[in-house]
């Protein structure tokens, strides 16, 4: 706890409070585990997702293209009685009906995905802020360690210098002045 207080001294109060809140949110998320969003979907959301996934697939496009070609071929060649002669008004009606119902399903699915993306972006932003504050704390710790190291080295140099000075004085007293060469 004392270590956390020391860390907060280096940050301003607002940053320290933000870091504390972000750490608390992360602890709660770890305790709860990862949220299972699939279990929280309503039946309408599941239907919208299934429709959007189906209509946005190559399988759907291929099946629909096959049906349209078959429809047009049967009505143009008159192989079977023409139930929808050119300009294919019944086909246009069926496709308009399909589009009228598909569009809202797809929009609901996209809106839900947009909400998920927005929440993810907000979480990413919080993580980035937390990382920035944590890195700032690490830099401050490194600076403090360097400061202590420089002080210790300065004291060691002073001590060694004083010891060297004392040994020079002792040598001068015992042996007299150093001989000149």
Indicate if the pLDDT at residue 136 is higher than 60.
yes
Residue 99 is predicted with a pLDDT of 94
Residue 57 is predicted with a pLDDT of 93
Residue range 112-134: mean pLDDT, rounded: 90
Residue range 23-30: mean pLDDT, rounded: 77
Where b means 16+ CB within 10 Å and e means fewer, 55-72 reads beeeeeeeeeeeeeeebe
- Share the mean pLDDT of the chain: 83
Dihedral sign computed on CA atoms, order 33, 28, 41, 63: negative
Q: pLDDT class for 8, splitting at 50, 70, 90?
A: very low
3 or 165: which leads in pLDDT: 165
Of the listed ranges 7-16, 23-32, 44-53, 120-129, the least confidently predicted one is 7-16
pLDDT digits (tens, 9 = 90+) for 27-36: 777 777 655 4
Q: pLDDT class for 143, splitting at 50, 70, 90?
A: very high
33 or 38: which leads in pLDDT: 33
DSSP conformation letters of the chain = -HHHHHHHHHS-HHHHHHHHHHHHHHHHHHHH-S--GGGG--HHHHHHHHHHHHHTSHHHHHHHHHHHHHHHHHHHHTSS--SS-TTTHHHHHHHHHHHHHHHHHHHHHHHHHHHHHHHHHHHHHHHHHHHHHHHHHHHHHHHHHHHHHHHHHHHHHHHHHHHHHHHHHHHHHHH-SPPP-
Percent of the chain with pLDDT over 90: 41
pLDDT digits (tens, 9 = 90+) for 57-92: 999 999 999 999 998 888 888 766 778 888 899 999
Indicate if the pLDDT at residue 2 is higher than 50.
no
43 or 86: which leads in pLDDT: 43
Residue 157 is predicted with a pLDDT of 94
């Amino acid at each position: 706890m004392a270590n956390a207080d020391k860390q907060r001294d280096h940050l301003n109060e607002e940053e320290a409070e933000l870091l504390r809140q972000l750490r608390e949110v992360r602890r709660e998320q770890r305790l709860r585990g990862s949220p299972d969003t699939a279990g929280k979907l309503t039946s309408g959301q599941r239907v919208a997702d299934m429709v959007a996934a189906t209509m946005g697939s190559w399988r759907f496009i291929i099946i629909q293209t096959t049906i349209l070609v078959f429809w047009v071929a049967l009505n143009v060649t008159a192989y079977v009685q023409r139930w929808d002669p050119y300009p294919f008004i019944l086909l246009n009606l069926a496709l308009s009906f399909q589009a009228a119902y598909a569009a809202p399903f797809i929009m609901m699915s996209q809106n839900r995905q947009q909400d998920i993306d927005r929440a993810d972006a907000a979480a990413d932003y919080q993580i980035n802020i937390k990382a920035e504050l944590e890195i700032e704390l690490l830099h401050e710790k490194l600076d403090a360690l360097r400061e202590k190291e420089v002080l210790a080295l300065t004291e060691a140099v002073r001590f060694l210098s004083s010891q060297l000075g004392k040994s020079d004085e002792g040598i001068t007293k015992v042996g007299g002045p150093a001989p000149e060469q």
